[in-house]
Structure formats: C-alpha cells, structure tokens
C-alpha cells in the first residue's frame, strides 16, 4: 500500500519522524468526545459492573447480550451532538474490558451482529462522523474478561496472573495475542481512515516488561503499518520510547502543569466524565455543571492540553437529557469563544493572569485570550505583561469588543499590549454578567 511503515527499514524511526505532522490536527482541535458504550449500559451502573459484581459470563450473556437491541441507536445524532458542542473528534469503545465487540468481527461471536440487534455498530458510526467532519478514534481494550486465554487478568481476583498460569497451563497467551492482532487488523482495515487509537490498558508489571504479555510493540507496529498517520495514547506501557505513544492521558485528573517526559513538555489529553462513571449510570447524581465543564476545557487548553469528554449512551443507544443539556450549553459557549480554544495553548511565560481568570494563547495569530471566570466588577490589572501581544479580544454576544490600551478603551478599538509595558489597566465595560 506504499505506506512508510511497511517499507521502512526501521518503522520506529519513521514513527518518530512523522509524529509532529500527524499530531497537528489533534493539537489544533483540542476538544473531543469519548463514548463508552457496551453491554454494561443495560445494568446502567458502571462499565466495570461485571468485574465489580463478579457476574459470571453465562449470566452476563443471558441478562445483557441476549437482550441487547438498541432501537434508539442513531450515530448521526451522536455525531451532530458532538459537532454542535464544538468537539472535533470522537473516540468510541470498539471493545471495552467485557470483551463485547461493537463490530461484526470474525474473531468472536460475542459481538453486536450476533445480538438481537443483529448488525455491525461501527460502520454507521464512522460514516456519521465523516459526514460531520469529525476525526474518528477507536478505544481498544487489551484487557478482555471474555477471552478464556486472557491469563494476566490482574483486574479479576479469580484470574490473577500468579494463579492463572499454573491453573490454566493448557491455555495459551499466544492465542490471546493473536486474537488481539486479528481484531485490531479488522478495525484498522475495514472502516476506512481511522485517525486515533485509545489503547486501554496494559500493566507494566514488577519487571516493567508487562507490555510483553500483550506484545504491545507488535500491536503498535501493526497499527502504524495499517494506518500510517494514526495517533495513539500511552497506555500500552512502552515507557518513554517515543515510537510507542503520541500523547499522555491523565485520567479524571487535572495536572498542575503540562506533563513532561525527561523534562520535556509532551502532548497530553485528560479524559473526563460528566458524572464519574464512563458507562451509562442511571443513578449517579454527581454531574458536573456546564460552567464547570467549560472552565475545565479552558483550564486544559491553558495548560497546553486536550479535553476528551465522555458520554455514556443508554442501552437503547441515545444520549440522555443530562448529557445533551451539557453538550448544548458547551456548544453555546464554543460558538462565541472557540477561537480561544482551537489552535490555542498555554500563554507565553511572563504573563501574570488576573484573579479568577485563565489565559489561552494562539501562537499562530499571536492572540492572548483572558478568560474571566467571575463577573469583572472591578478594574482588572494585568500586571507584568512582557510578551508582545498585538491586541486582546473580549468576545461576547456575537460581537467582538476590542480595547485600545489604557482605560480609554472603547468598543471597536484594539488594546495594544506591547513589550516593556508595566501594568496594563483594562476597564471592562459593564456588560451582561455572562461574559466569560
Ligand atoms: O478501566 C478503564 C475504564 O473503564 C475507562 O475505560 C477508562 C477511560 O480512560 N480507562 C480505564 C481506567 O483507566
């Protein structure tokens, strides 16, 4: 197929060379949707329900697989909701730890096409994403509670790695490694261009060689060979080897500063839930407010990262009202302020932000954005601006209020912050209290 990896002598070198280019869209887009969907949506109380409640496979199959028939599954609605929220890429769990495959795989009957639903779920999903200009990512679990040869199951007290090998010596991790590769080959060969892989997750093990159990290196090589420009996260435990991952993934966590490897800042994305659970959870009441989610997005970008915000569709296949409400609110904010998110990153050193505010900065346009997280009842001091910034734009109500320097700022003028300026006083006019 003429791709760089199959031909190149050293695919690892090529993948390092190619990294900056393949990461461009991701660094620009900043905001994506995670979707956790599987049989666990039926019990509707967490995607780890099978493991947490030690539900044996036959029971799990009878109660959930045999009833799976998502009559409200319309992926074009999912894609439209993501797009309207201002999200630019969508990552769907093709297979989570339960081992249930959303695609019509030849590797296992434990898949959507063998349920009462009777069809492949991935094909219409990728088509809907492409129609909405969304980049496509697959989440792929290397943990697989369904597969009998998955022996290194530290997540399953009855099948932990020490006992498993002795008790199941006839089993064979080679079978499991081949199974993973056969599944990955289907996902990366049968659905057109796939932009992103979210691996989840191998354990490094005491000797740090845990990734060999999965043949993580072989998985990465296959992915880069089948989809040369695919980007992938760091969850196959290949250490700091730059060919093995493209971005770091702090989970449900906000780093203080941009993560580093060997002292160098690296691309990173925090994946976050609305409510705590990744899978649909009917009774969870710890839902973050829309304002908290908007502030989270701003904070992530102000630290040079991406936000992958998760939705757990119901067993019938729709996004519930709680999720839709927040996505629509974020979309309203993004319609006015996405230029302070897309293509932005942390502000140059030396800018001291005002209280209760965050800074994002677009290096291409050299625009600094001051996000006010509280209504500005007082004159704002932006002390110590040293960087050369052409002008600041405060956006609200579809209009762009621009400021000239000093307090004579009037609507429509440009504020000029130039190098060497000591304190820049910005009098913000009294505007509607929803200014962000
Ligand atoms: O165990 C999974 C969990 O269910 C969820 O998929 C998250 C999402 O990043 N990943 C693992 C926990 O880190």
Taking phi first (over 0 means left), then psi (-120 to 50 degrees means alpha), and beta for anything else, what does residue 297 get? alpha
Q: Is the C-beta atom of 98 inside 6 A of ligand 1?
A: no
Distance CA 435, CA 36 (A): 33
CA of 200 from ligand 1 middle (Å) equals 7
Residues 6+ apart with CB under 8 A from 264: none
What does DSSP say about strands 423-426 and 380-383: parallel, antiparallel, or unpaired? antiparallel
CA of 127 from ligand 1 middle (Å) equals 26
Indicate which atom in ligand 1 lies nearest the CA of residue 271. 9
Distance CA 435, CA 259 (A): 30
Indicate which atom in ligand 1 lies nearest the CA of residue 47. 4
Token duo for residue 300: 């992530």
Model confidence, pTM: 0.87
- Per-position b or e across 293-308, b if 16+ CB within 10 A of its CB: bbbbbbbbbbbbbbbb
Residues 6+ apart with CB under 8 A from 121: 70, 73, 75, 102, 103, 112
What does DSSP say about strands 367-372 and 357-362: parallel, antiparallel, or unpaired? antiparallel
Q: Is the C-beta atom of 251 inside 6 A of ligand 1?
A: yes
By most ligand atoms within 8 Å of CB, the mutation choice from 142, 251, 270, 308 for ligand 1 is: 251
With CA atoms as reference, report the closest residue to 340 among 382, 392, 292. Answer: 392
CB atoms within 10 A of CB 251: 14
Q: Is the C-beta atom of 155 inside 6 A of ligand 1?
A: no
Indicate which atom in ligand 1 lies nearest the CA of residue 310. 8
DSSP string, 206-222: TTS-THHHHTHHHHHHH
Indicate which atom in ligand 1 lies nearest the CA of residue 252. 9
What is the ipTM score, two decimals? Answer: 0.99
Q: Is the C-beta atom of 47 inside 6 A of ligand 1?
A: yes
Q: Is the C-beta atom of 200 inside 6 A of ligand 1?
A: yes
Ordered per-residue pLDDT tens for the chain, 436 residues: 445 454 555 899 999 999 999 999 999 999 999 999 999 999 999 999 999 999 999 999 999 999 999 999 999 999 999 999 999 999 999 999 999 999 999 999 999 999 999 999 999 999 999 999 999 999 999 999 999 888 777 666 544 555 555 555 455 788 999 999 999 999 999 999 999 999 999 877 777 777 888 899 999 999 999 999 999 999 998 877 789 999 999 999 999 999 999 999 999 999 999 999 999 999 998 999 999 999 999 999 999 999 999 999 999 999 999 999 999 999 999 988 898 999 999 987 766 666 677 888 888 877 778 787 765 544 444 544 443 333 343 433 333 333 333 333 343 333 433 323 333 334 333 222 233 3
Q: Alpha carbon of 158 to those of 55, 143, 151, 168, 170: distances in Å?
A: 12, 15, 10, 12, 17
- In sign, the C-alpha dihedral spanning 196, 197, 200, 206 is negative
User: Locate tokens 């079978």: which residue?
Assistant: 175
């Amino acid at each position: 197929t003429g791709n760089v990896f199959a031909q190149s002598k050293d695919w690892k070198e090529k993948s390092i060379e190619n990294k900056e280019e393949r990461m461009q869209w991701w660094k620009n887009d900043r905001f994506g949707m995670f979707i956790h969907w599987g049989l666990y949506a039926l019990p509707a109380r967490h995607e780890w329900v099978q493991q947490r409640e030690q539900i044996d496979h036959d029971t799990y199959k009878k109660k959930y697989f045999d009833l799976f028939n998502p009559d409200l599954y319309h992926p074009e609605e999912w894609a439209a909701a993501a797009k309207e929220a201002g999200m630019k890429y969508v990552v769907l769990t093709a297979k989570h730890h339960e081992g249930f495959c959303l695609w019509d795989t030849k590797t296992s009957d434990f898949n959507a096409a063998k349920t009462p639903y009777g069809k492949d779920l991935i094909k219409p999903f990728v088509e809907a994403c492409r129609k909405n200009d969304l980049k496509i990512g697959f989440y792929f679990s290397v943990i697989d509670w369904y597969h009998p040869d998955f022996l290194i199951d530290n997540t399953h007290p009855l099948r932990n790695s020490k006992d498993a090998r002795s008790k199941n010596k006839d089993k064979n991790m080679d079978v499991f490694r081949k199974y993973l590769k056969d599944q990955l080959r289907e996902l990366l060969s049968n659905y057109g261009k796939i932009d992103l892989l979210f691996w989840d997750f191998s354990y490094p093990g005491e000797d740090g060689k845990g990734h060999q159990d999965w043949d993580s290196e072989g998985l990465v090589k296959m992915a880069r060979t089948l989809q040369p420009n695919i980007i992938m996260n760091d969850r196959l435990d290949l250490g700091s080897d730059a060919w093995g991952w493209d971005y770091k993934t702090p989970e449900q966590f906000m780093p203080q500063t941009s993560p580093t490897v060997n002292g160098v800042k690296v691309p990173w994305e925090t994946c976050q839930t609305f409510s705590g659970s990744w899978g649909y959870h009917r009774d969870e009441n710890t839902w973050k407010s829309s304002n908290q989610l908007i502030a989270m997005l701003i904070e992530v970008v102000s630290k040079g990262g991406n936000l992958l915000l998760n939705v757990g569709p119901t067993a019938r296949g729709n996004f519930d009202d709680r999720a839709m409400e927040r996505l629509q609110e974020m979309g309203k904010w993004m319609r006015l302020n996405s230029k302070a998110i897309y293509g932005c990153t942390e502000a140059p050193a030396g800018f001291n932000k005002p209280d209760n505010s965050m800074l994002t900065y677009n290096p291409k346009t050299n625009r600094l954005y001051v996000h006010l997280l509280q209504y500005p009842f007082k004159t704002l001091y932006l002390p110590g601006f040293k960087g050369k910034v052409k002008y600041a734009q405060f956006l609200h109500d579809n209009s762009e209020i621009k400021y000239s320097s000093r307090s004579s700022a009037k609507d429509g003028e440009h504020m000029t912050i130039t190098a060497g300026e000591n304190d820049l006083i910005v009098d913000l006019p009294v505007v509607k209290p929803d200014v962000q």
